[in-house]
A and B are shown apart, each in its own frame.
Chain A
Amino acid sequence: MNSQQNSRKYILIVTVMLILAVVYLIKLFSLQVVNKDYAEAAKNNALRQITEHPDRGLIYDRNDSLLVFNDAAYDLMVVPKELRTFDTLDLCRILDITKEELETRIEKASAYSKIIPSLFAQQMSKEDYGYLQEKMFKFPGFFVQTRTLRSYPEAVAAHILGYVGEVSEQTMEDDPYYKMGDYIGISGIEKAYETELRGVKGQRVVLVDVNNREIGSYHNGEEDVKAVPGTALWSTLDLRLQRYGEQLMQNKRGSIVAIEPKTGEILCIVSSPGYDPNLLVGKDRSKNYRMLLMDSIKKPLFNRALQAMYPPGSTFKLANGLIAQEEGILTANTIYPCPGGYQVGSHKIGCHHSGPTNLMSAVQHSCNTYFCKAFYNIISNKSKYKTIQQGYTAWREHIMKLGFGTTFDTDLPYEKKGILPSADYFDRVYLGHWNGNSVVSMGIGQGEVCVTPIQMANMLAVIANRGYYVRPHVIKAIGTKDHLNTQYMDKVNVDIKPQYFDPIIEGMEMAATAGTARGAQIEGIRVAGKTGTAQNPHGRDHSVFALIAPVDDPQIVVFCLVENGGWGASVACPIASLIAELYLTGEVKRKAVEENMLNLSLK
């Protein structure tokens, strides 16, 4: 062995080590400097973004009584990427789900995102939460997020308040604000004011260790974003009135809509049968929703106040009386004789009153003959309109200006337009040959016209305001009580001169004092009313009542319809009047009437 050979071996050994070292450094360079994936992975690995769900905005009634508030709920979230083998049985037992269900949920979450937390089990009970919290270390990849659920101090106004539910996949695609498991307003006020109510989600970045434990906040919380709580809303509803209305409508079908005419603010809006809004909260929401949806007898989800279309009945005569004056067909003192009915060919539309009648008295006694004649004259006004089509169209335009055949498009959920056929429709039906008598029943609110209770209540507001309405809405103020919701404050003019309203109101007042609507009288208050009996081909007629009070300075208009209630005077009239009494006087003195109505069951 010579030393040259040995020194060559030394050099070779050192060279091999240097080459190895270079290989290692190249690998390290690619790992640390070239490849950026690892830095990203590290973020997801050690940092967990926890979404801070803001409290949804509270909803108050017009007198600061709470309608909707929030209750704490605990959601179990899962981060699929962080999942490792765990005792599935144990988790299934705690959550009371099957293993298949557990696997399905994990798959669903994985399909959504591997690293963004997904909702795994929502709204655990406080007991389950406490139990799970202690065992959390056994379930890597899971964590509990607290958030709030809607809660209702009183089970009222479910249709109008609406409900919140998990956001749909479609919505998530359309609006990146929403992540899987977020809640969103699905109907009613919750939906209409979603952006105000939801607030702004916050974010907390926390360090977690491999055992799923939170170690502390990241960068001392510098990257955290505080959640902004949702904005509070003040509803136009009067909780007391709403509650009372719903009580009065117990065991009846139908609707009450009360509006403050000057502002279009809905004071109470009842659709009966309704449901307890607390049913559509929490983990049983879908189950309860299905149950409500399947109830084909009561149809509790059906909001009659906005969606049910009824023949308006005699209350529609008020509109025709106004239009007839505006069209120059008659004045307050125009007298039509009433022979106890209106003859249409061989058919006679009966009238329970007879004798010569002026407009006021026609309203007071709900004279069919008078309004049939008036309606006939409006649409067959040869001096103004050449054809029946033109005459009818002119009438129809007036009616639409009063808010019929259309929707108000305010914050009300799913309004229906009602039915208001065009002239074309009658052309088709009568093959082009029709005259005023063909459609004359529309003059007394029967026939082809159908309206919703909210439209009728709005018409009452027009009468009370003598010529205009403010679109009916349910939210008065946003954020603070004096920050008014200005979107729906415009006055809509109906193009009928104010003086034409006087005989109508006078007639209504006469009806309430000495006519069909005597049951509407409230002690110390001048009430104007109009009964209606909407013909119902399927059974007993619907009882309808329209009320304006006080006459000298209307504060409230009430429209009430009770299905199968019979005469307007029998059920709808006392109910509407009780509502007005409570609102205007703060108490109900007619205990016997109240008792009667509360106990009346038309189921």
Chain B
Amino acid sequence: MILLNTRTSTNGFDGRLILYYVLLVIIGWMTIFSTSYNAANPQEFSFALPYVRQLVWIGTSVVIAVGILLLESRIIQHSGYYVYAFCLLLVLSTFVLGSKVNGATSWIKIGSFSIQPTEFMKLATALTLAQFFTEGKTVGQRRRLWVIAFAIILIPALTILLQKDTGSALVFLSFVVLFYREGMSGLIFVFGAIAVFLAVFTLMFNEIYAVALLTLVLVIAWIIDRRDKKKVLRNIIVFVVAVLFVAAVNIAYEKVLQPHQKQRIDTLMGKTSDPKGADFNLIQSKIAIGSGGFFGKGYLNGTQTKLNFVPEQSTDFIFCAIGEEWGFVGSCAITALFLMLVIRILRLSEKQRSPFVRYYGYGIAGIIAFHFFINIGMTVGLVPIIGIPLPFISYGGSSLWAFTGMLFIFIKLNDN
């Protein structure tokens, strides 16, 4: 197996990961510069400018990265629970101290800077799971351990959900990559896929059609399995569960989701079209990316992103600027860079003898991949608009610090 290199020792920190990191951060800063730079109307240098602030974040990130590389691996490996507890406290504190940004109360203001504890919560959860799995040893066999593992991701996820930061909460789903690797049944994915299909079907049409579809499937299953009473019974149970699920989706959609979230889902399902209202963000985002063409308009030549047509153009929608200015070529490059980064982490994880590093590597690879696919997907209309940043690239200190920490902890642990 080529992929499973059995080399037992590594020499120094992984240069390629550091290279990918540096490239992504540089691309990120250049793009942030481009979105706020206006040749016709140059702004005075000021700390209010996003690209200036991002420089500060990058500088501090380098300090964090170097600090992590100087730490004892042992300390990192045993700090998971404390970090988790601390971050959870921070997240909870936003209920009291938090200020509202984009409908979510997940920010803590410190002077002129705000931090978002949820970003660090992801890192903390990855560390904790790694530590928990390492200490629980044979996780695959023990149901109780799985329950705790799920609890570890659900506690922060639900807390964050309560803060109406749905996007960040959903990120915790990415740990299924780690769970799958460490023995969770693949059937969960099959069930997951069916559940997603049912949910989408319900939202796209309505619950009555969904139940009708399930009934049709039940009848077909009954025709096939009619001789086997046990199977018939099983089919009926599955049917009832599925109907309950459809009902739950419906209730969630009607009662739990915020109006703007409902609108986003409706837009994605093609149920409504309102180019001036809710669709506006997506349309503007697609126009920006689509107008880039094959080679793009050239660096600093974007019009859509520079003129504030695209919402959140330096944070969640930063890919629009890349798509517009660098075109399809740039889209490919960014995709390739992220894929290489994630696959490199997975590959190094597989090579690791230390299970902790493997657990941790799979955890953060899942997070980064999830962020990438959801972020790009929402800008091109493949997934609903979920406000999560593009790792290393989007403007924002919390996000950059958290992802830098995440990656450099892996780099540090990997060199052991």
Contacts and interface: CB of A to CB of B under 8 A. Distances in A.
Chain B associates with chain A: yes
Interface of A: 1, 3, 6-7, 9-11, 13-14, 17-18, 20-21, 23-25, 27-29, 31-33, 35, 37-39, 41-43, 45-47, 81, 83-85, 207-211, 215-217
A13 B369 CA distance: 11
Interface in B373-403: 373, 376-377, 380, 382
Contacts of B380: 24, 27-28, 31
B210 to A, nearest CB: 25
B64 to A, nearest CB: 27
A41 B287 contact: yes
A42 B343 contact: no
29 contacts: A1-B140, A1-B183, A9-B180, A10-B4, A10-B181, A10-B347, A13-B180, A14-B343, A17-B339, A18-B339, A20-B373, A23-B382, A25-B332, A28-B289, A31-B290, A32-B290, A32-B323, A35-B290, A39-B290, A43-B291, A45-B284, A45-B287, A45-B304, A46-B304, A81-B275, A83-B276, A84-B280, A85-B276, A207-B307
Given A21-B335, A28-B328, A45-B309, A216 B290 contact: no
A333 to B, nearest CB: 88
A381 B377 CA distance: 101
A561 B294 CA distance: 77
A208 B303 CA distance: 9
Contacts of A211: 308
A24 B377 contact: yes
Interface in B270-312: 275-277, 280, 284, 286-294, 303-304, 306-309
A32 B288 CA distance: 9
A6 B339 contact: no
B177 A13 contact: yes
Interface string B319-344: 00001100110011001000100110
A3 B181 CA distance: 11
B40 interface: yes
Contacts of B339: 17-18, 21
Contacts of A13: 177, 180-181, 346
Given A38-B291, A215-B38, A46 B307 contact: yes
A43 to B, nearest CB: 8
A83 B342 CA distance: 43
B70 interface: no
A38 B350 contact: no
Contact of A10 (B38, B335, B350): B350
B328 A17 contact: no
A42 B377 contact: no
B101 interface: no
B1 interface: yes
Contacts of B284: 45, 210
B329 to A, nearest CB: 9
Contacts of B1: 7
B3 interface: yes
A11 B2 CA distance: 11
B346 A42 contact: no
A3 B4 CA distance: 9
A31 B309 contact: no
Contacts of A23: 382
B112 interface: no
Contacts of B292: 32
A11 B3 contact: yes
B41 interface: yes
Contacts of B346: 10, 13-14
Contacts of B275: 81
Given A84-B276, A217-B40, A41 B290 contact: yes
B328 to A, nearest CB: 4
Contacts of A10: 3-4, 181, 346-347, 350
Contact of B382 (A27, A47, A85): A27
Contact of B290 (A25, A38, A208): A38
Contacts of A210: 284, 307-309
Contacts of B306: 215
- The 5 lowest CB-CB distance pairs between A and B, nearest first, are A38-B290, A216-B40, A42-B291, A46-B303, A209-B307
Given A209-B308, A216-B40, A217-B40, 12 more contacts: A3-B4, A7-B3, A13-B180, A25-B335, A27-B382, A37-B290, A39-B291, A46-B307, A84-B277, A85-B277, A207-B307, A216-B38
Nearest to B297: A42
A17 B290 CA distance: 23
Interface centre among B289, B303, B342 (most CB of A within 10 A): B303
B294 A215 contact: no
A15 to B, nearest CB: 11
A24 B343 CA distance: 17
A29 B293 CA distance: 9
A38 B331 contact: no
Interface in B332-367: 332, 335, 339, 342-343, 346-347, 350
A21 B38 CA distance: 33
A210 B180 CA distance: 45
Nearest to B275: A81
Nearest to B349: A10
A572 B347 CA distance: 110
A7 B280 CA distance: 44
A474 B313 CA distance: 62
B224 to A, nearest CB: 29
A216 B294 contact: no
A47 B303 contact: yes
B309 A209 contact: yes
Interface in B160-191: 177, 180-181, 183
Contacts of A45: 284, 287, 303-304, 309
Given A32-B323, A32-B331, A46-B307, A41 B291 contact: yes
Given A42-B287, A207-B307, A33 B294 contact: yes
Contacts of B40: 207, 215-217
A231 B41 CA distance: 37
A84 B286 CA distance: 19
A192 to B, nearest CB: 44
A329 to B, nearest CB: 84
Contact of A216 (B4, B41, B286, B308): B41
A32 B177 contact: no
A209 B342 CA distance: 37
Contacts of A83: 276
A31 B373 contact: no
Contacts of B373: 20, 24
A162 B83 CA distance: 85
B331 A25 contact: yes
Contacts of A1: 140, 183
